[in-house]
């Protein structure tokens, strides 16, 4: 049996290195796509839970946890004061959607809790609700604190955006998007998925929106983001 020569061995090593270099980006891309699919699935479960809740609640969407919430109201994400949620024992299991996702009230089931969090969301750069969720509800559900009770789900215009993955960098004109369970559109869209992210609509659809399209929608009032029903400018 003839042994490999040094040149032949070097050629084999070079070929293996080339194959690995080709395969690694593909594997990385597949992993990233898988996380994006999981993130979209999370939003789909949340918006379906919203619709299930609305069916049982005179068609109204759950309270968005816009601070200050009305007294004794259990919001979509939690019940109580969001300050220091982990220390205070506040979390998604106390929120109104938990039951509709299959959870038992106030029993912190890790599998259900993972629905509230993007697989690519690592670390909690802000205090408060970033420890609980990657997604925030559009404050338009309560007209940014001026509407009580919340709107009926059929009052929203087609294509309105009710949930999105909020900008982990703090948004465009605020440093604290994580002070409660809801958001102004100006608090931004995440950049962790690259050129855009998935958003959830009241009709149950979850669609991709680019960063450029999101920025365009910020200037439309009313529009898909500024979408409070019965308001001339959606605000």
The average pLDDT across 92-98 equals 92
Average pLDDT, the chain: 84
Q: Which residues contact 30 (CB under 8 A, 6 or more apart)?
A: none
Which pLDDT belongs to residue 88? Answer: 59
Are residues 132 and 78 in contact, defined by beta-carbon separation less than 8 angstroms?
yes
Q: How would you class 219 by CB atoms within 10 Å of its CB: exposed for 0-12, middle for 13-18, buried for 19 or more?
A: exposed
pLDDT of the residue at 173 = 47
4-8, 63-67, 88-92: range with lowest mean pLDDT: 4-8
Burial bucket for residue 33 (CB in 10 Å: 0-12, 13-18, 19+): exposed
Looking at residue 221, what is its pLDDT?
Answer: 95
What does the pLDDT look like over 3-26, one tens digit per residue?
A: 657 676 677 777 777 776 776 665
pLDDT of residue 56: 96
Structure tokens that stand for 38 in this block: 């999981």
pLDDT at 117 over 50: yes
Instruction: Measure Cα distances from 116 to 66, 100, 179 in Å.
Output: 17, 13, 16
Q: At 199, is the secondary structure helix, strand, or coil?
A: strand
Mean pLDDT value across residues 117-131: 77
Residue 87: phi and psi, rounded to 5, are -60, -40
Question: How would residue 123 be classed by pLDDT, with cut points 50, 70 and 90?
Answer: low
Rounded distance, CA 63 to CA 149, Å? 8
Of 178, 152, 180, 181, give the one whose Cα is nearest residue 76: 181
* pLDDT for residue 1 is more than 70: no
**């109104």: which residue's tokens?**
96
The residue length of the chain stands at 235
pLDDT band at 82 (very low <50, low <70, confident <90, very high): low
Helix and strand numbers (H, E) in the chain are 4, 5
pLDDT, tens digit (0-9, with 9 covering 90-100), for 144-191: 999 889 999 999 999 999 999 987 765 554 556 778 899 999 988 998
Cβ partners under 8 Å of residue 2, min gap 6: none
pLDDT digits (tens, 9 = 90+) for 24-53: 665 555 556 677 799 999 999 999 999 999
Supply φ then ψ for residue 80, to 5 degrees: 115, -165
The answer to whether 94 and 80 have CB atoms below 8 angstroms apart is yes
pLDDT of residue 124: 60
Query: The pTM is what?
Result: 0.82
Pairwise CA distance, residues 148 & 196, whole Å: 32
- What percent of the chain has pLDDT above 70? 80
Q: What span, in angstroms and rounded, lies between the C-alpha atoms of 142 and 228? A: 7
Tell how strand 163-165 and strand 135-138 pair up: antiparallel
Min mean pLDDT across 37-46, 134-143, 177-186, 197-206 is at 177-186
Percent over 90 (pLDDT), the chain? 52
């Amino acid at each position: 049996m003839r042994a490999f020569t040094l040149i032949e061995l070097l050629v084999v090593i070079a070929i293996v290195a080339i194959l690995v270099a080709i395969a690694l980006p593909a594997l990385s891309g597949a992993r990233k796509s898988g996380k994006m699919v999981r993130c979209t699935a999370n939003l789909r479960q949340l918006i379906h839970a919203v619709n299930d809740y609305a069916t049982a609640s005179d068609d109204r969407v759950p309270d968005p946890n816009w601070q200050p919430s009305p007294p004794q109201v259990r919001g979509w994400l939690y019940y109580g004061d969001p300050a220091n949620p982990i220390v205070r024992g506040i979390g998604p299991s106390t929120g109104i959607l938990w039951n509709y996702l299959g959870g038992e009230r106030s029993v912190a089931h890790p599998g259900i809790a993972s629905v509230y969090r993007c697989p690519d969301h690592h670390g909690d750069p802000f205090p408060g609700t970033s420890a609980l969720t990657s997604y925030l509800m559009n404050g338009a559900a309560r007209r940014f604190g001026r509407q009580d009770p919340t709107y009926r789900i059929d009052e929203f215009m087609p294509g309105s955006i009710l949930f999105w993955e909020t900008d982990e960098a703090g948004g465009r004109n605020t440093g604290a998007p994580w002070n409660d369970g809801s958001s102004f559109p100006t608090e931004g869209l995440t950049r962790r998925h690259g050129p855009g992210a998935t958003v959830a609509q009241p009709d149950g659809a979850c669609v991709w929106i680019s960063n450029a399209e999101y920025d365009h929608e910020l200037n439309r009032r009313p529009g898909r983001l500024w979408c409070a029903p019965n308001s001339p400018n959606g605000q």
